[in-house]
Amino acid sequence: MTRKILIADDEPNIVISLEYLMKREGYEVLVARDGEEALAMIAEHEPDLLLLDAMMPKKTGFEVLQAVRGQQSAMKIIMLTAKGRDTDIEKGRALGADDYVVKPFSTRELVDRVGRLLGLSADDNPE
Amino acid sequence: MKSADLKLWVAVGLVGLVCLAWLLVAGLLLWAVLDPEDWATVTEALGGRAGLLLFLWALALFPVYAVINALIENHLRAPARLAEQARLRLESGDSRSIEPEGSTEVKRLTGVINDAIEQRETLIARMDERVREAARRTEQEKARLAALMSELTKSVVVCNLDGRILLYNNRARLQFKRLSQAGKVTGGSELIGLGRSIYTVLDRQLVAHALENVQRRLERGAASPSAQFVTSTRSGKLLRVQMAPVRAVDEDGQPSAERMTGFVLLTENITEDMRADAEKNRLLAELTEGSRASLANTRAAIEVLEDPAVDAPLREQLLAVIGEEVRHLSDRIGELQRSSSEALRSRWPLEDMLASDLIDAAISRIESELPMRASRAGDIDSIWLRIESFSLVQGLVHLAECLHRDCQVRWIELRLSSHKDRAALDLVWTPDPDADSPLDKSWESESIAGGDQPLAMTLKEVMERHGGDCWMDKETDDQSARCYFRLLLPLAAAQEELPPATFQRHEGRPEFYDFDLFQPGERSQQLDDCRLRELSFTVFDTETTGLNPAGGDEIIQIGAVRIVNGKILTGECFDQLVDPQRSIPRAGIPIHGITPDMVRGQPPITEVLPAFHAFCADTVLVAHNAAFDMKCLELKQALTGLVFDHPVLDTLLLSAVVQENHDRHNLDDLAERFGLTILGRHTAIGDAMVTAEIFLKLIPLLAERGIHTLGAALEASRKTFHARIKY
């Protein structure tokens, strides 16, 4: 079964690259441009993993995180953020993010982290 | 008759009687041993000579008198005179030697007393010299302190525990002038002045909180028990204040380890710093977070481009992304370079504080201000935080208030834990299962209310200032489904506590502490019971366009001066012309000397009265014929909203109380009677000044009539005939 990944980020310039990379790895990719759209798509598509930007319009990544964690979902979450302060990382982890990646990041490493969280080795075929 | 004279006559009488008795006994012996013939011969020989015998007896009494008189003179009268002379020297301080007289012993005693007098004189002279020397040193210390304070670039204000200003430097005066809303009118003297309350500038609760922190640190034996806080003034400026204690001095002259008699405030106007700080933070965030995002986009695009499988349209898209992001970065760096010179260095003054002190302060505020109970949990006694405690306590009270208001919570727990270099302060509660989820609330984004002065900040901003963060969540491993609001705070390095003796023994006493400024005040007493000598007064006078304020006459000048601790503060006058916004009748101009040209461009009464009201704060008003001046002020109440409800004393009425036999009590008559010179009669400040001098002369005269307190003075004024005058 194809694993679904939801990319929630309001920056189209990063979404282009992330979308390509995740698709190349064989994941089904969905894109949300703000927090509210992300929550709606999570409810509708039940993705396996959420790449969540911290700073988004309508609802911030942290608010999305709290809403999602309240639903007892099994979805894995990686926070992507330009905020590199310790307190942001601690806040993300405390609110239930599985991983926290500070921009700018290595796309190779991000792909590895996604694979690890989805229980796949880098060489496994996700399909 | 003097006692010595009586003794003399008694002694002479006794000797005379003894002689008579001796003669009688001799006669009886002769009569017993002689034959009757011989006895007849004797009586015949003496017959008719009895008078001669008595004469000889009386004659013999004169030498007896002389001898006894000499004895009494030398042994009784001379010591008595010596005692009187010595007593006189003792009581009058007369240093002349006493002339020796009387017996040898008395003369020796006189010599000893003369030596004692001489010794006393030497001692007094030495003591005078030492007093003069001490006074000279005190003057030098005062001069040194004045020089030091005038050179300081920080504003220094010294207050007693009642918050009364005892000392301030020129820098403080200039700073308070800038902070004053009416600086142009008063020069800031309504805010800062000897005897004024610091609470007109700083929030009382804030100062009390800082004092509490300082007191706790003193009790704990901290080496430098100071506290800092930031506050906003009524005119919207931000002040950074550092408070240090003025310790009480023990009987042995050492500073007390725990007791304070006052505090020193070092204040700094950081309004500009804070604005620049906010700008700097914004720039930094732009530089870091903004650049991170652009770099991430660029890096991801490049890494994707490395993949040979990328098709041409995507390649074009990715190259466009890189181009855009690089331009974006260049623009941002250009903008930052232009604006970075504005960025300044200041930050909130965070200070080290034991977590238990913060939590205790928060619990006590929450329980006193809200119908809630609060408890503490966690290892709070060993964790030191680096915080701005006032804003944090305000923030915690705000959260508790929100919980009570929105979720009807009545019990909370303040729990603390530490992780690496941060502490998590959780406000924990059990939500009502039927109520809405508190997680939807955004209390951290509401302005913090609380107290008389809202903080005008949100909890989120407070946390940002601490370099921390806050959020609300449910306990994950808690069966009771409790919620918590977490404040992530910076930790401080644990402080080593020194035993009090360490600094008590080695810390030198700064020389400029040699002022007796910290006598405990009696401000807490009812005002009426306060003694006139101890009160602060504002003596004022108004000049008006005419004598009928109710008929449209307006104030054209207000002059005032304050009396604190029985001294006229001539350096802190209020002297202001007022634009009456009407014509000035020609008839009055020769009297008050104020022409229409002089009041043109001057502030109107609506600007002057608020400044004057602030100048009079916490004082008793004094005026000559006060009913008239008070009427002028009262008529402006509706326009300005200012009520002059201070106690008012009238020198006209007080003069009538102490000088019942005089009919005239006008200012000129009183000045003449008290020998005062009026400089600038019929200018408001000139009249206010002479009224103040008259008032000071009246205080001891009132005291002679048993009128010592404000209440008694007011009551006596009411009873005088002149009190019936109405305008």
Give the model confidence (pLDDT) of A82-115 as tens digits. Answer: 876 777 788 888 888 888 888 888 888 899 999 9
Tokens of B694: 């008259």
pLDDT for residue B530 is more than 80 = yes
Distance CA B550, CA B214 (A): 53
Q: Residues 6 or more apart from B22 whose CB is under 8 A from it?
A: none
Region A43-51: what's the mean pLDDT? Answer: 90
Question: Which of B296, B304, B473 has its CB closest to that of A20?
Answer: B304
- Domain B273-342 matching CATH 1.10.287: the answer reads yes
Contact B324 A13 (CB under 8 A): yes
Please give, rounded to a whole number of angstroms, the shortest distance from the CA of A25 to a CA of chain B: 12
**B474 to chain A: which residues are within 8 Å by CB?**
70
pLDDT band at residue B684 under the 50/70/90 scheme: confident
Q: Tabulate helix, strand, coil % of chain A (nearest 5).
A: 45, 20, 40
Please give, rounded to a whole number of angstroms, the shortest distance from the CA of A46 to a CA of chain B: 23
Contact A13 B314 (CB under 8 A): no
pLDDT band at residue B726 under the 50/70/90 scheme: very low
**A24 to chain B: which residues are within 8 Å by CB?**
307, 309
| Rounded percentage of chain B residues whose pLDDT exceeds 70 | 87
Distance CA B467, CA B386 (A): 10
In this predicted structure, what is the pLDDT of residue B727? Answer: 43
Contact A66 B299 (CB under 8 A): no
B609 three-state secondary structure: helix
Please give, rounded to a whole number of angstroms, the shortest distance from the CA of A11 to a CA of chain B: 8
Range with the poorest average pLDDT among B110-124, B255-269, B447-461, B698-712: B447-461
Which residues of chain B form CATH 1.10.287?
273-342
The b/e string for B133-145 (b: 16+ C-beta within 10 A; e otherwise) is eeeeeeeebeeeb
The b/e string for B43-78 (b: 16+ C-beta within 10 A; e otherwise) is eeeeeeeeeeeeeeeeeeeeebbeebbeebebebbb
Contact B292 A66 (CB under 8 A): no
Which residues of chain B form CATH 3.30.450.20?
152-270
In this predicted structure, what is the pLDDT of residue B695? Answer: 93
| CATH homologous superfamily for the domain B152-270 | PAS domain (3.30.450.20)
ipTM: 0.75
A vs B: CB pairs below 8 A: 93
Region B151-158: what's the mean pLDDT? Answer: 78
Q: How many CA atoms lie within 13 A of B3 on its CB side?
A: 3
pLDDT in tens, B69-108: 998 888 888 888 898 888 888 887 788 889 898 889 999 9
Q: Is the Cβ–Cβ distance between B246 and B261 less than 8 Å?
A: yes
A26 three-state secondary structure: coil
**B309 to chain A: which residues are within 8 Å by CB?**
24
pTM above 0.80, yes or no: no
pLDDT for residue B637 is more than 70 = yes
Report the CATH architecture of B527-724.
2-Layer Sandwich (3.30)
Region B317-345: what's the mean pLDDT? Answer: 72
- Between strands B227-232 and B165-168, the pairing is unpaired
In this predicted structure, what is the pLDDT of residue B182? Answer: 59
Region B683-690: what's the mean pLDDT? Answer: 88
Contact B488 A83 (CB under 8 A): no
Is the bond into B454 cis (omega within 30 degrees of 0)?
no
Question: Which of A17, A62, A106 has its CB closest to that of B318?
Answer: A17
Residue with the larger pLDDT of the pair B425 and B586 = B425
Distance CA B671, CA B681 (A): 11
In this predicted structure, what is the pLDDT of residue B127? Answer: 94
Distance CA B536, CA B569 (A): 11
Q: Is the Cβ–Cβ distance between B304 and B310 less than 8 Å?
A: yes
- Domain B351-490 matching CATH 3.30.565.10: the answer reads yes
For residue B685, the one-letter residue type is I
Tokens of B295: 């770099």
Query: Which positions in chain A have a beta carbon within 8 angstroms of at least one beta carbon in chain B?
Result: 11, 13-14, 16-18, 20-21, 24, 55, 62, 66, 70, 80, 82-88, 90-91, 94-95, 102-108
Q: Where do the domains of chain A lie, and which CATH numbers do they carry?
A: 4-117 (3.40.50.2300)
pLDDT band at residue B175 under the 50/70/90 scheme: confident
B291, B471, B475, B477: best to mutate for the A interface, most A CBs within 10 A: B471
A7, A11, A13, A108: best to mutate for the B interface, most B CBs within 10 A: A13
Q: Is the Cβ–Cβ distance between A50 and A27 less than 8 Å?
A: no
Please give, rounded to a whole number of angstroms, the shortest distance from the CA of B322 to a CA of chain A: 9
pLDDT band at residue B112 under the 50/70/90 scheme: very high
Q: How buried is residue B420: exposed, middle or buried, by Cβ count under 10 Å (0-12/13-18/19+)?
A: exposed
In this predicted structure, what is the pLDDT of residue B680? Answer: 65
B304 three-state secondary structure: helix
pLDDT for residue B451 is more than 60 = no
Query: Which positions in chain B have a beta carbon within 8 angstroms of at least one beta carbon in chain A?
Result: 288-290, 292-293, 295-301, 303-304, 307, 309-310, 314, 317-318, 321, 324-325, 419, 421-422, 439, 467-469, 471, 473-474, 486, 488
**B290 to chain A: which residues are within 8 Å by CB?**
82
A18, A107, A110: best to mutate for the B interface, most B CBs within 10 A: A107
In this predicted structure, what is the pLDDT of residue B40? Answer: 87
pLDDT band at residue B341 under the 50/70/90 scheme: very low
Which ranges in B667-709 belong to alpha helices (H)? 667-673, 684-704
Please give, rounded to a whole number of angstroms, the shortest distance from the CA of A68 to a CA of chain B: 12
Question: Which of B289, B292, B314 has its CB closest to that of A20?
Answer: B314
pLDDT in tens, B606-629: 888 988 988 888 889 999 988 888
pLDDT in tens, B343-398: 433 456 677 777 888 888 888 888 888 899 999 888 777 788 888 888 888 889 89
pLDDT for residue B675 is more than 90 = no
Contact A13 B288 (CB under 8 A): no
CA angle, residues A20, A24, A29, in degrees to nearest 5: 60
Closest CA to B152 of B57, B300, B56, B267: B267
Residue B544: strand pairing partners: B555
pLDDT for residue B559 is more than 80 = yes
In this predicted structure, what is the pLDDT of residue B722? Answer: 52
Please give, rounded to a whole number of angstroms, the shortest distance from the CA of B407 to a CA of chain A: 19
- Out of B75, B328, B404, B682, which one is annotated catalytic? B682
B325, B473, B474, B486: best to mutate for the A interface, most A CBs within 10 A: B473
Contact B303 A17 (CB under 8 A): yes
In this predicted structure, what is the pLDDT of residue B220? Answer: 79
Contact B296 A82 (CB under 8 A): yes
Contact B297 A106 (CB under 8 A): no
Q: How many CA atoms lie within 13 A of B164 on its CB side?
A: 21
Distance CA B87, CA B90 (A): 5
Contact A62 B471 (CB under 8 A): yes
Q: Is the Cβ–Cβ distance between B599 and B697 less than 8 Å?
A: no
Residue whose entry in the numeric block shows the structure tokens 């993705």:
A47
In this predicted structure, what is the pLDDT of residue B515? Answer: 44
Q: Residues 6 or more apart from B331 whose CB is under 8 A from it?
A: none
**B301 to chain A: which residues are within 8 Å by CB?**
13, 16-17
Q: Residues 6 or more apart from B397 whose CB is under 8 A from it?
A: B362, B365, B366, B369, B370, B450
In this predicted structure, what is the pLDDT of residue B236? Answer: 67
pLDDT for residue B259 is more than 90 = no
Please give, rounded to a whole number of angstroms, the shortest distance from the CA of A51 to a CA of chain B: 14
Among A36-40, B188-192, B288-292, the range of highest mean pLDDT = A36-40
pLDDT in tens, B484-515: 899 988 887 654 443 333 333 333 322 223 34
Angle formed by the axes of helices B651-658 and B684-704, nearest 10°: 30
Closest CA to B687 of B633, B630, B645, B626: B626
Q: Is B613 a catalytic residue?
A: no
Distance CA B182, CA B538 (A): 18
**A13 to chain B: which residues are within 8 Å by CB?**
297, 301, 321, 324-325
Q: Tabulate helix, strand, coil % of chain B (nearest 5).
A: 55, 20, 30
Question: Which of A16, A24, A102 has its CB closest to that of B318?
Answer: A16
Distance CA B639, CA B580 (A): 14
Question: Which of B293, B307, B321 has its CB closest to that of A82?
Answer: B293
Q: Residues 6 or more apart from B558 whose CB is under 8 A from it?
A: B540, B541, B542, B543, B574, B575, B576, B578, B608, B612, B684
* Per-chain mean pLDDT for chain B: 80
Which residues of chain B form CATH 3.30.420.10?
527-724
Contact A87 B469 (CB under 8 A): yes
Contact B301 A13 (CB under 8 A): yes
